Structure 1
């Protein structure tokens, strides 16, 4: 899965709330459902997306599957995001003469 798709998955409001909970400790679907006041099927759908992406992992504890954030995966995403941020043009390069193919009205 590419970087942009992964960011899109992480930034969905419901999935982001789930991830915030899972960064505190492991939870089962029922506990997440109660904490976020959404249905268990809705939580399960979001968990499946997060599992397929590799953002979370699960392990069986008693009768329930408990989930936690895949820290190594999240570190990779943050490193990639950091590279993207560091490649942003600085104000100095943005104020140099425009080289677009159209005539710019922008005064330099």
Structure 2
């Protein structure tokens, strides 16, 4: 997965809400869907998109599927965002090291 996949998938506000609900730990679809303004089948579709992008993983627990964040899936996005910080720090360093007259 590349950072563009993560950005594309997380661009949808409902999908982002689904993703953020998993910050608290693994959950079944019903718990994730509780209180969201979309149906449980819609939440399942959002989870599928997140899973296809490598951001979420699922495991079976009896007849239920439990979803959790796949933090490795965020590494490309984090690396890309960190590159902006690195560029900014390098520019600051170059400016600070310029001889002053």
Q: What's the TM-score once normalised by structure 2's chain length?
A: 0.75
d(CA) in 2 for partners of 1:26 and 1:80?
Answer: 26
Question: Which whole-Å deviations, capped at 9, do the CAs of 1:55-93 have from their partners, x for residues lacking one?
Answer: 0000111211000000122233212221144336969xx
d(CA) in 1 for partners of 2:31 and 2:10?
Answer: 20
Match of 1:52 in 2: 52
Q: Structure 1 or 2: larger helix share?
A: 2
Q: Please identify the structure whose Cα radius of gyration is greater.
A: 1
Q: 2:26·2:66 contact (CA, 8 Å) conserved in 1? A: yes
Which fold has the larger relative contact order, with Cα–Cα distance below 8 Å and residues 6 or more apart in sequence? 2
Gap regions ≥5 residues in structure 1? 92-108
Q: Name the Cα RMSD after superposition.
A: 2.3
Question: Structure 1 runs of 4+ off > 3 angstroms?
Answer: 84-91
Matched residues, number = 92
Q: 2:2·2:77 contact (CA, 8 Å) conserved in 1? A: no
Q: Secondary structure at the match of 2:38?
A: coil
